[in-house]
Amino acid sequence: MLPLIPWPTEVVEPAATATGPAALALPAVRVDAPAGLTAVVAELVAAAGVPVSDHDTDGPAVPFTLRLDPAGGPTGSDGSQSPERYTLQVTAAGIEATAPEPVGLLHAARTLRQLVVRPADGAAGGTPSTVPVVVVRDAPRHSWRGLSFDVVRHWFGPDDIRAVVDLVGAFKLRVLHLHLTDDQGWRIEIPSRPELEKASDNQVGGGSAGYLTADDYRDLQEYAAARFITIVPEFDMPGHVNAATHVYGALTADGLATDAYDGIEVGFSRLWFDNPATEPFLRDVIGDLARMTLGEWVHVGGDEVLTMDHAEFAKFVDLAQQIVREHGKTPVFWQEGARGPVEPGTLLQYWEPKGEEFDRFVAAAHAGARFIMSPGNHAYLDMKYTPEHPLGLHWAGYVELRDSYDWEPTTVIDGLPASAVEGVSAAVWTETLTTRDELFSMLLPRLGAVAEVAWTSPQAKDFDAFAARTAAQAPSWRAVGWTYHPTPQVTW
Ligand code: TNX
């Protein structure tokens, strides 16, 4: 059993014979990769505990050769070829990765990282790590594989966000969606609206917090992009806006700024479409956010506006969608966006089972909307594992590891065409999470389960095997300081 998460398309292990080694020793690895990839690949090799050698003269080093090659990776039974496909081949002579695109080469290096076996505790000093002789041919099922991360309810700054980028990368996810604005705080500099900084120093329970400067945001996106991860920023509107109305009284019905809010209720704050201050605010914020964003998408929220009629809400969806498109980006909304006039290509993020809305979702799909599946009862990693769990919420139920694993994204919404599913996103909201360790203990091991739902074909999924692979990965999490919850569903 190889400890790979997500499980790949095809794994070929040679039958054990007397003629060849079952594993290759890795005293050191020499990386030979296309320009621009060498540093991140070396970082992954080092994270696996294997020394990276720069020169032949450093002593024995195993070559890890990464080559762009359209022949790398598998072809689906229907002839389909994912641009993320790759092949990783470990032989007695060395390690080779081939892929048509750089992202595939990086996936191959991530697979290698998971395959490395560290010397057993108590092994003689100098005992090298090893890697099994194997061929892995692999490609993802869905292209949108992400994590939605609330950095508002409790502030998580650039260092924590970079750690989360590393974690999502380890499971071959491609998207980190940052929930940047909400009732409690405003977490990003908007150059045309510098006053918003006044709403950054607050969070759930009060206390000091912060926000990303434009420079922080650019650096983070570049860090993520070097790892083929796209940051998708979210400005949540027309609800969840108390941070904005705290700064700009002109946005409220009575013209008075609202008080800062440090509780965890939702649904009470709102914008007013006919207020003359509203559209300029949306244009400034969405415009700046789009200009500052390297990736293709801008998320404009739309969830839980509990005090607005549908007609007014639809006007917000229409306007936000137009502004995002005017800036050359693709809009993303929470599922409530389906109540507005969604256009082809607009993405809707499903999160809550509301049967009476399913017809609307299906209609939106037929109108060309694409769906990101984040069902609360499977993919919300801020839900408690069990009733006794000290952290998290439970409005969507208790979400144990198996709940995060055993679900099928194309059948969550009755009647939705499977072809309308763009992919899957886990989500972690931070009302109850205050430290990186708490955050990671909610993400691990469940993020691996959601990643496997997004990547692996349903026929190849197997919870018991997944649980065993999870246990086998835990030492590598401990080695890099990633805290995880030792759920009893895994024999650690
Ligand atoms: C629902 S999911 C929300 C968030 C909360 C979350 C807590 C969504 C679109 N809205 O505002 O933080 O539940 O689990």
d(CA 112, CA 89): 9
pLDDT in tens, 203-226: 999 989 999 999 999 999 999 999
Among 17-31, 62-76, 404-418, the least confident range: 17-31
Handedness of CA 91, 93, 99, 105 (dihedral sign): positive
Which residue lies with its CA nearest to atom 4 of ligand 1? 429
**Full set of structural domains in the chain with CATH:** 10-138 (3.30.379.10), 144-479 (3.20.20.80)
Which range has the worst mean pLDDT, 72-86, 186-200, 309-323, 408-422? Answer: 72-86
User: Model ipTM?
Assistant: 0.96
Atom of ligand 1 minimally distant from the CA of 334 = 9
Q: Compute the distance from residue 265 Cα to the ligand 1 centre, in Å.
A: 10
The residue with greater pLDDT, 176 or 353, is 176
| Range 45-68 average pLDDT | 87
Q: From atom 5 of ligand 1, which residue's Cα is the shortest distance away?
A: 429
Residue 57: what pLDDT? 58
Residue 437 corresponds to which tokens in the numbers above?
């360790």
The DSSP-derived string for 41-87 is HHHHHHHTTPPBPSSGGGS--EEEEEEE-TT-S---TTS---TT-EE
pLDDT at residue 372 greater than cutoff 80: yes
Q: How many angstroms is it from 321 CA to the middle of ligand 1?
A: 21
The owner of tokens 């909610």 is 442
Of all protein residues, the one whose alpha carbon is nearest to atom 12 of ligand 1 is 429
**Token code pair at residue 353:** 């089972």
Which residue from 263, 275, 158 is spatially nearest to 219, judged by alpha carbons?
158
Query: Annotated catalytic residue: which of 43, 197, 279, 304?
Result: 304
Among 182, 266, 373, 384, which residue has the most ligand 1 atoms within 8 Å of its CB, making it the best to mutate?
266
The closest residue, in CA terms, to atom 7 on ligand 1 is 429
Q: What is the pLDDT of residue 275?
A: 98
- The rounded percent of the chain whose pLDDT value lies above 70 is 98
* Atom in ligand 1 nearest the alpha carbon of residue 352: 2
Q: What is the spatial distance between Cα 338 and Cα 358, in angstroms, rounded to a whole number?
A: 10
What is the pLDDT, as a whole number, of residue 489?
98
Structure tokens at 144: 């949108």
Q: What is the pLDDT of residue 20?
A: 62
Q: From ligand 1's centre to the CA of 380, what distance in Å?
A: 9
pLDDT digits (tens, 9 = 90+) for 86-112: 999 999 999 999 999 999 999 999 999
Q: pTM value?
A: 0.97
For position 460, what pLDDT does the model report?
97
Note the pLDDT tens digit of each residue in 220-249: 999 999 999 999 999 999 999 999 999 999
Active-site residue flag, 101: no
Q: What is the pLDDT of residues 269-322, one digit of tens each?
A: 999 999 999 999 999 999 999 999 999 999 999 998 988 999 999 999 999 999
Q: CB within 6 Å of ligand 1 — which residues?
A: 150, 266, 303-304, 334, 351, 380, 382, 393, 429, 431
Determine the Cα–Cα distance for residues 247 and 258; give it in Å rounded to an integer. Answer: 8
Q: What is the DSSP letter of 119?
A: P
The confidence score (pLDDT) of residue 54 equals 78
Output the pLDDT for position 158: 98
State whether residue 234 is helix, strand or coil: strand
Q: Give the single-character DSSP code of 201.
A: S
Distance from Cα 150 to the centre of ligand 1, integer Å: 9
Residue 430 CA, closest ligand 1 atom number: 12
> Phi and psi (nearest 5°) for 156?
-120, 120
Q: Angle at the Cα of 233 (from 375 to 282), degrees rounded to 5?
A: 110
pLDDT on residue 56:
58
CA distance 207 to 201: 7
Q: What is the pairing mode between strands 23-26 and 29-32?
A: unpaired
Closest atom of ligand 1 relative to the 301 alpha carbon:
9
Whole-number pLDDT of residue 120? 85
Distance CA 251, CA 274 (A): 10
Q: Among 117-121, 134-138, 422-426, 471-475, name the one with the lowest average pLDDT.
A: 117-121
CB-CB contact of 278 with 321 (8 Å): no
Q: How far is the CA of 336 from the centre of ligand 1 (A)?
A: 12
Cα distance between residue 305 and residue 388, in whole Å: 31
Gap from CA of 429 to ligand 1 centroid (Å): 7
With the most atoms of ligand 1 within 8 angstroms of its CB, the residue from 153, 261, 304 to mutate is 304
- The average confidence (pLDDT) of the chain is 96
Task: With beta carbons less than 8 A apart as the criterion, state whether 139 and 82 touch.
Answer: yes
CA distances from 388 to 336, 385, 393, 398 (A): 32, 8, 11, 10
Helix (H, G, I), strand (E, B) or coil at 165: helix
| pLDDT of 55 above 80 | no
Q: How many Å separate Cα 257 from the centre of its chain?
A: 35
Can you tell me whether residue 114 is helix, strand or coil?
helix
Cα–Cα nearest to 401, from 452, 342, 454 = 452
Point out the ligand 1 atom lying closest to the alpha carbon of residue 153.
Answer: 12
381 C-alpha vs ligand 1 centroid, how far in Å?
A: 11
Given a contact cutoff of 8 angstroms between Cβ atoms, the answer to whether 169 and 396 are in contact is no
Which of 152, 382, 429 is the best mutation target for the ligand 1 pocket, counting ligand atoms within 8 Å of the beta carbon and taking the most? 429
Residue 77 in this model has a pLDDT that exceeds 90: no
Condensed to tens digits (0 to 9), the pLDDT of residues 115-174 reads 999 998 888 888 999 999 999 999 999 999 999 999 999 999 999 999 999 999 999 999
